[in-house]
Amino acid sequence: MAARIPVTDAMVAREFRLQRVPGSAVDAITNPLIRRCLALGAEARAAREQAAPPLSHRDAKSRAANDND
């Protein structure tokens, strides 16, 4: 089994935003149950992104919004 990917606070916050969780980000991140769910999602997303080849294409809307995620 592969080594677990360490999950940072920034990864949890990004997962909160990407999953469009309703409510306050601070409340969600400080709640241990919701944080654990977001951490598992962030870990899975990091593993998928690590395995996928990087995309070199960004559309104009993403560039204009400066969306680098």
- pLDDT at residue number 45: 92
pLDDT digits over 1-33, tens only?
567 888 888 999 999 999 998 888 888 889 999
Q: How do the domains of the chain map onto residue ranges?
A: 9-50
CA-closest candidate to residue 46, choices 22, 11, 16, 9: 11
Its pTM stands at 0.67
Q: 15, 38 in Cβ contact below 8 A?
A: yes
CA-closest candidate to residue 23, choices 34, 36, 37: 34
- pLDDT above 80 for 38: yes
Report CA Rg, the chain: 14
Q: How many CA atoms lie within 13 A of 25 on its CB side?
A: 12
Question: How far apart are alpha carbons 69 and 57 in whole angstroms?
Answer: 13
